[in-house]
């Protein structure tokens, strides 16, 4: 039975006809999107919404271009953008009002989507400066999961995930440094794709940890995410963190091997029913042709702890200090607390940690070499908003137990829906693989995903 605070997320069943099966539906879909946004201000998932008349005018112009023969694979598809990613004509705030600026151009990822005919209808809420995994660290209001107003949505890309899950947009861009593109997907019953670092340009992204940041995608199906990734990926000479594409693994055959955490190493922070859902997912994947291989999760967990308990928090502080005054009253107290921890690390600490990380990478590469994917819970357990507000540091940190290590270990990831707890909160699982194995991982995720319901729109590719 659902919690009394649960509310409808307008779910669809797999196989339902997409509103984009006919291009003439574009205006109607746009009108529906704006109607839902207007009716659901209390979800707090938007910081800036583009005027409807302006979006409608752009849609009509796009339709005219398509009629004239121009190929626009995302014609009229409405999408949202996390408000630490630049969109021309819209302010970028990073959830800090005093930081707000008007960008001179859109981020590279946004430029590619607009060139494909998609329509950005607004900027979505986030944990301030992308510092957090809860969705509760914003002066624009906390974002709850679409399943229950009293539970966190996950962050920092909270608004993007909620906007997709609530049916406001077809897809949305987020970012991911330590799980921000995966945790909110898990708690909202949608898909989150975290590409290999450098696969998608970070030009136009407000930096958090620049060596670890990447643009992520929230959507309703893995195929939708693959379609968007095809459009936004590519080496960018303007981005110093962009990387030429490497050679990834081939997609597995019908038989595949997946790593699973040994039961004794599962961490659910007092909610064993969450671990039970993970066990059920592993059993289901075995039934679909997978061979489960128990792995030692200890080196992954150790690497994950480095993100905030190690000197990488100094990179985060350095990036934000270059943008705004750390001690300004505009920064939330919890943001200041996280950033001030950086003063406890020296250059010697940074090199010591980096050398340890390289050893952990080699250790985990040996584990991953024998697997098509590592499967982990997307998050250990759901957390109530009231509890998060009472203990914002400890509980936020607990959310990243299964996600913090991914970028540090140079892995790509796909978060997919798994099941729903008795209290109505969705819980997902995440598939991970070495860098540049994105395509193979997406192919496997498509076989394993469970459509647990999502937004009222579904994207199709019109290649």
Give pLDDT tens digits for 264-275: 999 999 999 999
Give me the phi and psi of 414, to 5 degrees please.
-135, 120
User: Helices 312-321 and 333-340: crossing angle, nearest 10°?
Assistant: 120
Q: Is 390 exposed, middle or buried (0-12, 13-18, 19+ CB in 10 A)?
A: exposed
In the chain, where the domains are located: 19-256+411-448, 257-368
328 pLDDT band, cuts 50/70/90, is: confident
Residue 392 vs residues 3, 155, 166, 207, 396: alpha-carbon distances, Å: 23, 12, 25, 22, 6
373 pLDDT band, cuts 50/70/90, is: very high
Question: What pLDDT sits at residue 458?
Answer: 47
Per-residue pLDDT, averaged over 40-53, amounts to 97
CATH of the domain spanning 257-368, picked from 1.20.58.1700, 1.10.760.10, 1.10.3720.10, 3.40.30.10: 1.20.58.1700
What is the pairing mode between strands 411-420 and 426-434?
A: antiparallel
Question: How many Å apart are CA 157 and CA 175, to the nearest integer?
Answer: 6
Question: What pLDDT sits at residue 2?
Answer: 39
Answer whether 94's CB lies under 8 Å from 84's CB: yes
Taking 80 as the threshold, does the pLDDT of residue 452 lie above it? no
Question: What pLDDT sits at residue 344?
Answer: 86
Kindly report the number of other CB atoms within 10 A of residue 72's CB atom: 17
Question: What pLDDT sits at residue 391?
Answer: 97
pLDDT tens sequence across 224-247: 999 999 999 999 999 999 999 988
Catalytic residues: 82, 156, 180
Strand extents, DSSP E, 148-280: 171-176, 191-194, 214-219, 256-261
Question: How many Å apart are CA 424 and CA 404, to the nearest integer?
Answer: 26
Per-residue pLDDT, averaged over 397-417, amounts to 98
Per-residue pLDDT, averaged over 91-120, amounts to 97
Q: Smallest Cα–Cα separation from 122: which of 160, 75, 76? A: 160
Question: Could you tell me which residue, 337 or 231, shows the higher pLDDT?
Answer: 231
Taking 60 as the threshold, does the pLDDT of residue 1 lie above it? no
- Which two structure tokens, joined as six digits, stand for 222? 């893995």
CATH topology for 19-256+411-448 is Amidase signature (AS) enzymes (3.90.1300)
Is the peptide bond prior to 338 cis by the omega test (within 30 degrees of 0)? Answer: no
Question: What pLDDT sits at residue 450?
Answer: 63
Question: How many Å apart are CA 448 and CA 459, to the nearest integer?
Answer: 19
Average pLDDT, rounded, for the chain? 91
Question: What pLDDT sits at residue 18?
Answer: 36
15 pLDDT band, cuts 50/70/90, is: very low
Taking 80 as the threshold, does the pLDDT of residue 7 lie above it? no
Report angle CA 391, 40, 422 to the nearest 5 degrees.
Answer: 55
DSSP, collapsed to helix, strand or coil, labels residue 109 as helix
460 pLDDT band, cuts 50/70/90, is: very low
Answer whether 461's CB lies under 8 Å from 21's CB: no
Taking 90 as the threshold, does the pLDDT of residue 169 lie above it? yes
């Amino acid at each position: 039975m659902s919690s009394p605070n649960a509310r409808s997320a307008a779910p669809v069943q797999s196989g339902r006809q997409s509103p984009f099966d006919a291009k003439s539906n574009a205006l109607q879909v746009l009108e529906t999107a704006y109607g839902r946004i207007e009716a659901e201000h209390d979800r707090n998932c938007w910081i800036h919404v583009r005027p409807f008349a302006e979006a409608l005018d752009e849609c009509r112009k796009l339709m005219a271009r398509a009629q004239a023969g121009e190929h626009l694979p995302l014609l009229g598809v409405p999408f949202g953008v996390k408000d630490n990613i630049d969109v021309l004509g819209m302010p970028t705030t990073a959830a800090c009002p005093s930081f707000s600026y008007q960008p001179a151009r859109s981020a590279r990822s946004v430029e590619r989507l607009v060139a494909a005919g998609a329509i950005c209808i607004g900027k979505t809420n986030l944990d301030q400066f992308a510092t957090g995994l809860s969705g509760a660290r914003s002066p624009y209001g906390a974002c709850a999961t679409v399943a229950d107003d009293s539970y966190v949505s996950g962050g920092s890309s909270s608004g993007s995930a909620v906007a997709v899950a609530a049916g406001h947009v077809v897809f949305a861009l987020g970012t991911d440094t330590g799980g921000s593109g995966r945790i909110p997907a898990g708690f909202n019953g949608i898909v989150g794709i975290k590409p290999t670092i450098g696969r998608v340009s970070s030009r136009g992204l407000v930096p958090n940890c620049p060596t670890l940041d990447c643009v992520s995608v929230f959507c309703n199906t893995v195929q939708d995410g693959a379609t968007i990734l095809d459009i936004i990926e590519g080496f960018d000479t303007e981005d110093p963190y962009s990387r030429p594409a490497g050679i990834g693994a081939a997609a597995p055959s019908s038989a595949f091997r997946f790593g699973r955490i040994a039961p004794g190493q599962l961490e659910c922070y007092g909610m064993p029913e969450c671990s039970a859902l993970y066990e059920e997912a592993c059993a289901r994947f075995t039934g679909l042709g997978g061979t489960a291989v128990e792995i030692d999760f200890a080196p992954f967990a150790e690497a994950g702890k480095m993100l905030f308990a190690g000197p990488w928090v100094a990179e985060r502080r350095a990036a934000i200090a270059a943008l705004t005054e750390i001690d300004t009253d505009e920064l939330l107290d919890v943001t200041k607390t996280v950033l001030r921890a950086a003063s406890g690390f020296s250059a010697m600490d940074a090199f010591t940690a980096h050398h340890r990380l390289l050893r952990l990478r080699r250790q985990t590469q040996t584990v991953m070499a024998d697997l098509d994917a590592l499967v982990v819970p997307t998050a250990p357990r759901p957390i109530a908003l009231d509890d998060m507000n009472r203990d914002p540091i400890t509980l936020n940190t607990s959310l990243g137990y299964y996600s913090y290590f991914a970028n540090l270990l140079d892995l790509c990831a796909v978060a997919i829906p798994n099941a729903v707890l008795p209290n109505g909160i969705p819980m997902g699982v995440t598939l991970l693989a070495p860098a540049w194995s994105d395509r193979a991982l997406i192919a496997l995720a498509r076989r394993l995903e469970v459509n647990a319901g999502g937004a009222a729109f579904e994207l199709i590719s019109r290649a």
